Each structure stands twice: as structure tokens, then as C-alpha cells.
Structure 1
Amino acid sequence: MTHHRSVTVGAHEVFYREAGDRTNPTLLLLHGFPSSSHMFRNLIPLLADRFHIVAPDLPGFGFTKSPPRGQFDYTFDALAKVVEGFTDALDLTRYAIYVFDYGAPTGYRLALSRPERVIGIISQNGNAYEEGLSDGWNPIQAYWRAPTQANRDAIRSLLTLEATKWQYTHGVPDESTVAPESYVLDHALLSRPGNDEIQLDLFLDYASNVALYPAFQAYFAEKRPPLLAVWGRNDPFFLPAGADAYRRDNPNAEVHLLDTGHFALETHVAEIAGHIRRIFAPLS
């Protein structure tokens, strides 16, 4: 049974999904753009018998209630601090992190801040290497180089329903396997008043993640936590090279490329769950 809860973290009411016995190893599931903890709805039941699972919605996403833009800085540093406060509120002291898309730079900041607490990493299309960035980032990178209103407006198209649906269906061999409520819910929550400007702020601040890539890589090389990179090989934003690169810094990393796109859980949830159970269930 998955429970749907909220907890106060500073000025935020963080919505999260929780399942499993707290005496089992904890998995902290961190979603990415444009989704929420809803992306883990099919994965959680496949793991809850062996893990304690918590999956929060980041500020600006899902059902988490956060201050409006202007009262809270929507940056990745700020998102990571909220997640850190969330782990404190739930008294999570040791956990493996599952990171996807925006969840990667958020979770990796947490690992840098509290390395003794992170006992493993599952990266599902969660990038930490420049070679993992595709040409799909070109318009956003143009905005990094010149944060003009024109460049900001040029990437508003990424917030449309069509763009969200495309992120779910691009590179998927059979689009009928993708549940339409996934991208429709994402779009509905992204379309709340003022949320478009929040998302554009985060697009701009993603440059801070690339600047931290060397620090993330140094952490992988020094700490060498158990690491599983399971990747949709047809992802239009994060290339398979980003998955393979983990092995450069952590030779023990296990990499699996799947014939699907960005949202690999929509099509390969059972396979991903199997890898997680095999590698991470022995952790304690």
C-alpha cells in the first residue's frame, strides 16, 4: 500500500509517497522535469516488499505547496536544501537515491552535503557528464549564455502539452504503452498560475548543475557508492554517453541501456525494478 502524505519543511508543504517497512533499506526517489512523484507510481509497488520508499514532489512540481516566485528562489541549490530538510523531517539517516533528470543534480548536491548518508545511487536518465547533453539543450544553453527575454521566450514551447507528451513518447517503440494521464497530469500541474516563470528560472539555473559536474564526478570517484545507471537509450536530452561515463569515475558502476526514451519507467518498469532488487536489496 502506498501512502500519500505531506510534511512541513520550512515554508513548504512537501507532498510525498511512502511505502514499505522503515526497518528495510530506504530508497529516496527524486523525480525530474516535467513530472512529479507520480512517475514512480508503478515502480513503488514492485519494491515496497523489500525497501522503505519515499518519493517527494520537488518545489514547483506535483502537489507540493511552495511560496510563489519572488518569495522563494527556484534554483537547484534551493531544491536540494528543501530535499535535505525533507529527509530531516522524516528522520532519514541512510538511503539510496534514485535520480532522474532534475532529480540528479538535486540528489547529487545532497550526496555532496551528506555523503555518509547515501548508501547507493540509481541513475535513470540522470546526467552528470557534459557528453550526456544532447543538441536538444542548444536553445537552453543559448539562454545560459545570453539570458535575454527573447531567449527566455524562445524556450516557452517546452512547457506546452505537446512538448510534454513528446518527452514521454519520443523514442518509445510502441506509444500505446505510455499512459496518457502521465503527460496530461504533468501539463496540468505545470500550468498552474505563475508556474511557467518558475520553470523558466530552473531552465536558466540548470547551468549551475553543469558547473558542478566535476564535483559530482569527484564524489563518484572518491566514494564509489554502489551505482546503477539504467537509461532510455533514445532519450532526446540525455545521451547514452552520459550513462557510460559513470564507469569512468566508478569502475564498479553497472550500466544498462534500454530501448525506450526519457521516461523509461513508463515502458520498462519491471526490468528496472529487477535490477534495483538485485543490486540494492542486500544493503543495510
Structure 2
Amino acid sequence: MTQTRKYFSHFVTAMGILITMSLPNVASAKNPQLSPEQITLQNFLQQEREDCGLKTKTLKVGDIFWSYNEGGSSQKPTVLLIHGFGGNRDNWNRVASYLTPNYHVIVPDLPIYGDTKVPSNFDIAVPNVTSSLRQFAEAIDIENKLNIAGHSLGGSIATLYAAQYPFDTQSLFLLNSAGIYKKANTPYTRDPHFLKHIIMSKPGDYDEVRHEIMQNPPKLSPELKHAKEQLLIAQSGINNLVIEQISTLNRIYTPETFARITRNVEAPTLILWGKQDKIFNVEVADELKSLLKRAEAPVILNNVGHMPLLEADKQVANYYLPFLAKTQNLKNPLADQLIPLH
């Protein structure tokens, strides 16, 4: 294992902490029959994908059966959107709808999440997930000049990808990105056991947890709300186990572990944060910028929590699209003199 992979293995294993408001895998091998609630969700998501210009595809790469959304023309620059811990590809649907007219958009379910299937002995450490993501990118021929965006833990994966494959990364977009920060001061970053407060374990938890993670949760019909709550309750056991592992690791590793990786990123970077984020307080956005070589001043969205891609999708797109446009013609700083964005 290289030093980069070693350091990031420590960092991200410790930081896979967000229990997002998203749909877990609803059709696992252990439970192949869909309930009426699951059918309701599946129909809703299928329609949303179509409305956003996305189609669901599958691909086997090695031992992984990938499920991903794709939209836009393959002749345009490619944007790879990475969801967070506990999330899935559909977290990005509404943001993707603004990108597909001018970009080739790929949004995978990461291994062990959503509908992507992995062997029972799959190593879920982020360096292995990132390596698998690279193999996926190569299999569908998108690895060259790739624009990468990641939310929460997906931001950590995107950062590692950009650090490991600097010649192939055209730009990086980090939204409320997970990290071990010196300025982190929320209950969740001080003590990961606090994350148990945002695990849904019984009926009625859904609204309370949504308002903790999001400042302005999107409105849902009673049927969809009930369906999502039931599915998230079903995965509460594994989420509790993950939190126990995180608590142990967070006593060992430090912000320096995170900084070593982040300083290796060469790609121009846009950072965006919800000001009312209760998981990672907004002050860490400036700390993140200070570690990146080519980061712009962070964009801070007021009245937005930890999930800007769901709470403020239009605002996210309005900042991301101009950044994407101006970074497409920049040359790789490893081959040419470093070129500033302004």
C-alpha cells in the first residue's frame, strides 16, 4: 500500500459517519420480493430519473455488479457524482438535471450501497472503494479529464481519487465534505456516538432526523415518507455497528492524517457548504480550502444544512456550472506551469 493509500485508509475509515436521508438497497438477495412501500419508492425514483434526463444502467466489473444513472451526451465532458455514506445515486438526481444538457453525467451506487452488488467479503475501506471506482471509470471509458463531485463521505472518496489520479482529474467539487478537521466542533465530530441520535429505529423518527440533517427538508407525500422511514429503520442495526467502529478509530487518528492526502490534490476545486450544517460545522470549509492547492473561496449557502444537493439543488447547480465551464480548458499543472483560475 502506498503512503497515500495508507494515510487515507486511516482517515476515511474513521470518517464514514453520515447516516443520510436516502434509500437503501430495496431488493437485496436476502429479500428479493418488493413490498407495496418499496414499489411506491421504486416507481417514484424511476419517474424522477426520467424527468432529470437519467437512465439506469448496470455493468459487471470484476466481482462488482455496478448500478448507475447516466445522462447527457457521451461526447461531452464527463462529470462523476459520488454520494455519501448510507446514500445512493438518486441523491444527485435533481442536481444532475441541470448538468445533463451540457455534460455527460455518471452517478453510481457505490459498493455496498443502493443497487450495486458486491461479494460478501468485499473490503469496504475507502481506498478499496476508490480503487474499484477507478476500475469502473476505466470500464466505461470516462477516466480521462474526469470532473469529480462528492458529497459528505463521497467528498472524501472524490478527494482520494483526485490525489491518486491527478493526471486524469480535470476538476473537483466538494459539498459538505467529510474530513477530520481541527475546527470541527459539532457533537457529531467530538463524539461519533452522538450519531446514534440520527439513526431511525422506530416509527416517528423520520421527521426529527430529517430536520437535524437538513435545514429545509424537501416535502414528501405521506406515502413516500412512510416508505422511506420503514426502509431506514430496517438498516438501523448495521448503522449502529458502523458508529461503534468509527468511535474507536476517531480516538486514534488526527487532522494531520487528512491533511496529508488533501495537499496532494492538483485539480482546481470548488467547495460548497450549507451554513446550518449540524454534522460538519461551516467553519471547516475554510480549513479545507487552506489544504488544497487550487481551491476557490468556499461557497456558503445560508439556510441550508448538510444536504445542499437535496435542499438547494438549483443553487448548487448555479455555482457548479460556471466552475465547470471555466475549468474545462485548463491544462494539467503536473505537465504545465500551474495555471490560476482567475
Q: TM-score, normalised by structure 2?
A: 0.68
Mapping for residues 2-13 of structure 1, pairs under 5 Å: 2-13=54-65
Query: What SS does the aligned partner of 1:35 have?
Result: coil
The separation in 1 between residues aligned to 2:237 and 2:134, in whole angstroms, is 25
Q: Which has the larger Rg?
A: 2
Matched, 1:139 2:183: no
User: What is residue 274 of structure 2 aligned with on the other side?
Assistant: 232
Instruction: Note the alpha carbon deviations across 1:248-281, whole angstroms, 9 max, x for none.
Output: 2346413111121111122211111011111112
Aligned identity (percent) is 18
Query: What SS does the aligned partner of 2:264 have?
Result: helix
Query: What SS does the aligned partner of 2:66 have?
Result: strand
The separation in 1 between residues aligned to 2:178 and 2:172, in whole angstroms, is 12
Amino acid at match of 1:226: P
User: What is residue 317 of structure 2 aligned with on the other side?
Assistant: 273
Q: Report if the CA contact (8 A) 1:32-1:101 is conserved.
A: yes
The separation in 2 between residues aligned to 1:43 and 1:32, in whole angstroms, is 15
Mapping for residues 65-84 of structure 1, pairs under 5 Å: 65-68=117-120, 71-84=121-134
The separation in 1 between residues aligned to 2:236 and 2:209, in whole angstroms, is 22
- Structure 1 residue 190, shift from structure 2 partner: 7.8
Q: Report if the CA contact (8 A) 1:124-1:231 is conserved.
A: yes
Match of 2:97 among 10, 21, 45: 45
Mapping for residues 1-284 of structure 1, pairs under 5 Å: 1-68=53-120, 71-92=121-142, 93-128=144-179, 130=181, 131-132=183-184, 134-140=186-192, 158-160=198-200, 166=208, 168-170=210-212, 172-175=214-217, 177-179=218-220, 181=224, 185=228, 188=231, 191=234, 195-196=238-239, 199-200=242-243, 203=246, 207=250, 212-220=257-265, 223=266, 225-249=267-291, 250=293, 252-258=295-301, 259-282=303-326, 283-284=328-329
Structure 2: tracts of 5 or more residues without a match:
1-52, 330-342
Point out the structure with the larger helix share. Answer: 1
Q: Report if the CA contact (8 A) 1:169-1:178 is conserved.
A: no
Q: TM-score, normalised by structure 1?
A: 0.80
- Structure 1 residue 188, shift from structure 2 partner: 2.0
Structure 1: tracts of 5 or more residues without a match:
143-153
Q: 1:73 to 1:190 in 2, by over 3 A?
A: farther
Q: 1:13 to 1:185 in 2, by over 3 A?
A: farther
**C-alpha RMSD over aligned residues:** 3.1
Q: Report if the CA contact (8 A) 1:101-1:126 is conserved.
A: yes
Q: How many residues align?
A: 266
